[in-house]
Structure 1
Amino acid sequence: MNRLDPFSVSTHVYKTVEGHPIQIDVLVPKSTLEKKRSIPYGDNTRIPVILRYHGGWLFGGQRDYPNWLAQWVCDLAVKHDAILVSADYRLLPEATCEEALDDIMDAYIWLSTGLTDALKSTYKDSPVIAPDLDRILVGGESAGGYCALQAGLTFFDQSSNPTSTQPIPKPRVIYAEFPYVSLRTPHWTQSYPKQIWNQPQLPLTLVTSLFTSISHSTTLNNGKRPIVSNIPMVSPTGQFTERAIISTAAEQHGRTLDFFGPERDPAPGKRRVFPEDRIEDGRILPPTMFLHGINDSIAPVEGMDSFVEWVRKYKAVAGMKEGREEREVMRYYRVPGEHFVATDMKLDGSEPEWLKEAVKFLEANWLGARNAAL
């Protein structure tokens, strides 16, 4: 069964860049729609929100590719009658990382500026479907975990860099599955043989040819770089697409950061490409759950270990500086498995104890004590 089958899905444009629409999907559990249709209009029927960012090295991926969206996240949405939102964003190297971050932030802002209207236009016969923007869970897998952390660092504490004249709701909690972090370590910056997923050692020419192609397209388009925001990374038969193979080659040859482009402002307090820098500059995360497989060949667990230690060093999760126990505000589940370690796990009683515990942590911070307890 497709893991999106339990949802009613609508697609919307949350921004347009040079005529290119960037899309976002809104998934409402069908069971929730049936419940709400029986509730008189005017009742307190606001329902919580999950914003999920997709993975793909930041170089590819799709908001609407179901197999990378964790089954347990889908189950969590159905369990709590939550709206699940999944966003595309501009992809590297056609875009810079800064431009991708613009979209990542705009997708989050759209929750408060566009989600309510999107629901009203889609469910005209269900006027009581409305988001509870005081209960937002943000997460993602792989590069999507990077996106979720960046959104958390931006919007949880908005005092030092307000992005809008109107208050933007804070995320209550983050989940980051095998996230894209510690990108300046040798694994990502040095060329040496790396066994990544099931791929052989690939030639560097795959990477350089992509840059040549983009440069040629830019020249033909009067200096404007092409814009892409939705590219498959896995074929219908489960094989890596050309885009995923190029991404793998870049990682093997230590060229991943070449795709990122320059930071707009590398000054402390302004820099934002690397979450580690933002943490050093004083940004903090909401309560956060990290999950990583110790056998991860795409994003080695040692990078996650280093990032968690960095978070601890700077007490960079809300409550740490005030003396709260780490376990109250942060969880790190370092478990056996490859990339996508928990993607197919269901919340049906068969899940491992660590996932049950992780979900309880998310529920308690996302929904409040009345809905779940540690």
Structure 2
Amino acid sequence: MDDPKYSKFNVSTTVYKNVNGQDIDLGVMIPKDAHAGPRPILVHFHGGFLVAGHAMYPEWFANWAIDYSLLHSAIVVSPNYRLFPESTGLEILSDIRDFWTWIQDDLPAYLKSVGSEVTPDYSKVSAYGESAGGYLAIMSALTQPDLVKAVIAAYPMTYIDSDWYCVASTTKFPFGSPQVPVAVFEEHVKGTPKGKIFTGAFPPERMELAISILQSGGFTGLGDDESLFLDRVLEKLNADRRMPFLFAFHGTEDSAVPCEQTKKFVGKWEEKFGKGSVVGKWEKGDHGVDNETTLEEPWLQAGLTGVTKAWID
């Protein structure tokens, strides 16, 4: 948490949930120059294929996103959550629901407890996530539409029941990785004590496991409940209800998460909620296409303009 990337924030952590006697925590970052009183909230969901990653891992919190939150003096809240394969998809989503309950019920008191004079402005809440975090950010938009005003989904996992995730293949090379034996996945599952959960891992920890799961089609283990799948949740919503603005972007050469699936989902969103409800941007590059991107980048500004209007204005 003392990473230079976070130097303009006061950073703290707290527990928002306990499962089987094991804590699940979150990080809160308050801009040091934020004035007292109501401030916007930016929720950040970390990526990692739902298998790896950590709420406070700085390498996966894009520089432009740090600058964007500082620009609006936003309170940044980043939760950990249970990870697959020790936990199911429904268990992961239950953590996200409980996190949003914490945001609404407990964040004000927590801010006071750490001596801050800022307060959350619940009329200005946005969600941002990359990869698996993009999936969770979009799911938050679909399930918390009265609270979340805008979503930024960076190269998100969208169709997690597709062949890419659920069918074994020797032609998937995420990040240029060679084939990882399925035994890595299988032995991990066998060696995990019943009831043991994992809620955060700084890469490279668990990344080999994530790649083994992907290449072996192991994401079927997330479950088959319809509430897990973004497109099915989207289909059941009333087209006339107010929904958050969605800005999604993806590298066209992404080797880890298919760009075409994000394009398809953006099309479904626009078809459901109309033009102006979503902006999709497709830029040449692999997973993490925004690694060197600044707030001044025209394609990024094209999407953030809509986010800012829905979130702040």
The verdict on a shared fold, with TM-score over 0.5 as the criterion, is: yes
Query: Is the Cα contact below 8 Å between 2:266 and 2:278 reproduced in 1?
Result: no
Going from structure 1 to structure 2, the CA distance change for 1:211 and 1:200 (only over 3 Å counts) comes to same
State whether structure 2 residue 172 is matched by structure 1 residue 182: no
Bigger radius of gyration among the two:
1
Q: Using the alignment, how far apart are the partners of 2:290 and 2:4 within structure 1?
A: 17
Q: In the alignment, which residue of structure 2 is the partner of 1:237? A: none
Q: Using the alignment, how far apart are the partners of 1:182 and 1:100 within structure 2?
A: 16
Q: In the alignment, which residue of structure 1 is the partner of 2:234? A: 279
Q: Using the alignment, how far apart are the partners of 1:291 and 1:118 within structure 2?
A: 33
AA at the equivalent of 1:211: V
Q: In the alignment, which residue of structure 1 is the partner of 2:218? A: 255
Q: In the alignment, which residue of structure 1 is the partner of 2:253? A: 295
Q: In the alignment, which residue of structure 1 is the partner of 2:173? A: 195
SS in structure 2 opposite 1:3? helix
- Give the total of aligned pairs: 307
Q: In the alignment, which residue of structure 1 is the partner of 2:203? A: 233
Going from structure 1 to structure 2, the CA distance change for 1:261 and 1:183 (only over 3 Å counts) comes to closer
State whether structure 2 residue 55 is matched by structure 1 residue 97: no
Q: Using the alignment, how far apart are the partners of 1:283 and 1:334 within structure 2?
A: 28
Query: Is the Cα contact below 8 Å between 2:42 and 2:127 reproduced in 1?
Result: yes
Q: Using the alignment, how far apart are the partners of 1:189 and 1:210 within structure 2?
A: 18
Residue 262 of structure 1, CA deviation = 5.0
Going from structure 1 to structure 2, the CA distance change for 1:310 and 1:360 (only over 3 Å counts) comes to closer
Residue 76 of structure 1, CA deviation = 1.1
**Deviation per CA, 1:209-233, whole angstroms, max 9, x where unpaired?**
112112xx12xxxxxx211111122
Going from structure 1 to structure 2, the CA distance change for 1:47 and 1:188 (only over 3 Å counts) comes to same
Q: Using the alignment, how far apart are the partners of 1:65 and 1:353 within structure 2?
A: 27
- Which runs of no fewer than 5 residues in structure 2 stay unpaired? none
SS in structure 2 opposite 1:92? coil
**Deviation per CA, 1:23-46, whole angstroms, max 9, x where unpaired?**
1111011122xx44xxxxxxxx31
Q: Using the alignment, how far apart are the partners of 2:158 and 2:207 within structure 1?
A: 19
Q: In the alignment, which residue of structure 2 is the partner of 1:171? A: 148
SS in structure 1 opposite 2:43? strand
- Which runs of no fewer than 5 residues in structure 1 stay unpaired? 37-44, 158-169, 219-224, 235-240, 264-270, 321-325, 369-374
| 1:1-374 → structure 2 map (5 Å cutoff) | 2-32=4-34, 35-36=35-36, 45-123=37-115, 126-127=116-117, 129-156=118-145, 170-192=147-169, 193-214=171-192, 217-218=193-194, 225-234=195-204, 241=205, 243-258=206-221, 260-261=222-223, 263=225, 271-282=226-237, 285-313=243-271, 315=272, 317=273, 320=274, 326=275, 328-347=276-295, 351-368=296-313
Two-structure CA RMSD over aligned residues (Å): 1.6
Which segment is superposed worse, 92-101 or 176-185?
176-185
Q: Using the alignment, how far apart are the partners of 1:64 and 1:283 within structure 2?
A: 36
SS in structure 1 opposite 2:213? helix
**Deviation per CA, 1:337-374, whole angstroms, max 9, x where unpaired?**
11111134233xxx321112222121111011xxxxxx
Aligned-pair identity in percent equals 30
Q: In the alignment, which residue of structure 2 is the partner of 1:40? A: none
SS in structure 2 opposite 1:272? helix
AA at the equivalent of 2:304: V
Residue 190 of structure 1, CA deviation = 2.2
Q: Using the alignment, how far apart are the partners of 2:162 and 2:67 within structure 1?
A: 35
Q: Using the alignment, how far apart are the partners of 1:105 and 1:246 within structure 2?
A: 26
Q: Which runs of 4+ in 1 moved over 4 A?
A: none
